[in-house]
Amino acid sequence: MIQQRLAMVIEFNGAKFHGWQRQDNAFTVQEAMEDAMLKLEGKDSAPSFAAAGRTDTGVHATHMLIHADVKQAMWAKSPHAYIKGLNYHLRGAGVLVHGIKAVSDEFHARFDCFERRYQYKIWNRSVSSALYGQQAWWVFQLLDVDKMNQAAAILVGKHDFTTFRAAGCQANAPERNLKVLEVKQEGHFFTIDVAADAFLYHMVRNIVGSLVAVGIGRWQPEYMQELLDGKNRCVAAQTAPAHGLYFTDAIYPDFSAQDISGLVG
């Protein structure tokens, strides 16, 4: 059977899943995708997926990039029918495909990705939101966006991020190159944009927790340097909840996940 490797852009509601990676005792995004693909391709073909990142339970995605090897004949017959059929089998699951690109057999969604981007959303108001309760972290204390950005600037660059590394992290080394960390405010919404070559386990959520500690006045911005230098997770702030975090893009040499959103071919 001749196969074609496809890069797919997916979005999903993390509240419905226990993360990306298939597990024996919990429903995951990978399981939903593989089950839908099995129904589309048939029992004689059960494609497996690789993803640009491994999201945790509750984390959302707007533009996660994954790849799979599928039946070339079925794909080539009608790419538009293929994506419609796949989304038909995904209906109600909380995940859908909104872009597909045929790629070479050598392409790998995880290993070829050289930058990953996230956003963290905070709802900052004295009263919580009926609409955004599972889409953003409710922080009722008033946040200072300027002080948060001062603190964020200290973390940008290549550092040892041991302080923001959760227990159980399997990375070989704690150094990461944080390319973007910026806090924006629009009304009651605070959005934190984050980009790096790769991330440690819970790194983004741990950073967000400490930025909020600065924002509410618990710490001064320059304390972020002390946290970095101390290399001690126990002295940093709480881990921000998963439901405010979104995987928003994966960057490759020739394209990004956002580039192929809406593309079929």
Coil, helix or strand for 226?
A: helix
Contact by Cβ (8 Å): 259, 75 = no
Which of the following is catalytic: 35, 56, 193, 259?
56
DSSP per-residue codes, 55-100? PPTT-EEEEEEEEEEEEHHHHHH-HHHHHHHHHHHHTTTTEEEEEE
Contact by Cβ (8 Å): 11, 98 = yes
Question: What are the angstrom distances between the C-alpha of 139 and each of 122, 147, 190, 215?
Answer: 7, 16, 10, 10
Q: Is 56 one of the catalytic residues? A: yes
Contact by Cβ (8 Å): 255, 96 = no
Catalytic annotation, residues = 56
